[in-house]
Amino acid sequence: MPELPEAETIVRGLRASIVGERIRTAEVPRPDLLREAKGKFVGGVRGRTVRRVDRRAKNVLIGLDNGHTIAVNLGMTGRLLPFPTAPRGTERPTHPGVVFRFDSGGVLVFDDVRRFGTVECLSSEAWRGRETRFGPEPLSSGFSGSDLHAGLHGSRSPVRSWLLDQRRIAGVGNIYAAEALFLAGIHPKRPANSVSRPEAAALHRALRRVLRNAIRAGGTTIRNYRNSANRPGAYQPKLYVYGRQGQPCLRCGHEIERTVFANRSAFHCPSCQPARAS
């Protein structure tokens, strides 16, 4: 569900509410969300104080005072909801998976309807090892159009599949891949290695623009996404192609098409994004 902008929005919200809090206990109503044994996880986080909240790819990272990191992958429907006091009545999360209780009386709930999310507490060495599996952050200053072109150049897979692969580039999901490819005028099925250097430069600009604007809007809510204040994102009206099949292209008026490959819906304008490079 959440991609880079949604995870970033959650991180910024959480920072304000849980940094400095000491974890008194953790409960795990849904142990299948943990990537480790429940006892080990609970023992590892109990008594620790939250020092920082960060993001890598689509993961929310909760840094503890012993150097360990709680890595949360939000999956499709995961939410991280902080409460100043134990939630009551209608504010109670419907599908709590992991519940952290702080000394202050505050509570942080990882809530996940579909349970595709994961939670894990990793030592600093273990996290460093895990972190290297992700590709570059598209918004980092060190990531250039030339880097993107070099990466694309080495792969024959469809460019959308390339963008969705977290090992190649971090944090891009189905919505923002569709939007960036539209802005760059590249058909989602084109082989990655058919993307020319100028096209890669355009895709680089488009990715950064789309991701930055989506962060500014607090993310995109199609169905389930909510930030850490339990509020939806505001980027949906700015989408050019995602979810707009059958509607006119906002640039040229052609009908937006929906196709399915790699088991996911892809959206593109057949006129603005021709199947073959021109």
Partner DNA sequence: AGTGTATCCTGCAGGC
Partner DNA sequence: TGCCTGCAGGATACAC
| Closest to 4 measured CA to CA, from 224, 220, 266 | 220
- In the numeric block, the tokens 């992700």 are attached to 134
Active site residue 58: yes
- Residue number with CB closer to DNA (23 or 210): 210
Active site residue 156: no
The answer to whether residue 161 forms part of the interface with DNA (CB under 7 A) is: yes
Structure tokens at 48: 């620790």
- Residue number with CB closer to DNA (23 or 178): 178
Question: Which entry of 30, 55, 58, 160 is annotated as an active-site residue?
Answer: 58
Residues numbered 187-216 forming contacts with DNA, rule: CB under 7 A: 192
CA pseudo-torsion sign 131, 136, 138, 141: positive
- Residue number with CB closer to DNA (17 or 118): 118
Number of residues that bind DNA (CB under 7 A): 40
The answer to whether residue 164 forms part of the interface with DNA (CB under 7 A) is: yes
Residues numbered 252-271 forming contacts with DNA, rule: CB under 7 A: 261-265
The answer to whether residue 11 forms part of the interface with DNA (CB under 7 A) is: no
The answer to whether residue 1 forms part of the interface with DNA (CB under 7 A) is: yes
Q: How far is the CB of 277 from DNA (least distance, A)?
A: 17
The answer to whether residue 174 forms part of the interface with DNA (CB under 7 A) is: yes
Active site residue 199: no
Q: How far is the CB of 78 from DNA (least distance, A)?
A: 9
Among 186, 218, 219, 228, binds DNA (CB under 7 A): 219
How far is 230 from 226, CA to CA, in rounded Å?
5
The answer to whether residue 110 forms part of the interface with DNA (CB under 7 A) is: no
- Residue number with CB closer to DNA (222 or 250): 222
The answer to whether residue 225 forms part of the interface with DNA (CB under 7 A) is: yes
Q: How far is the CB of 18 from DNA (least distance, A)?
A: 22
CA pseudo-torsion sign 169, 173, 174, 175: negative
Question: Which entry of 2, 5, 158, 188 is annotated as an active-site residue?
Answer: 2
The answer to whether residue 275 forms part of the interface with DNA (CB under 7 A) is: no
- Residue number with CB closer to DNA (63 or 158): 158
How far is 61 from 175, CA to CA, in rounded Å?
23
Please give the positions annotated as active site. Answer: 2-3, 58, 264
Binding footprint of DNA on the chain (CB under 7 A) = 1-3, 6, 57-59, 73, 75-76, 94-95, 113-116, 154-158, 161, 164, 166, 173-175, 192, 219-225, 261-265
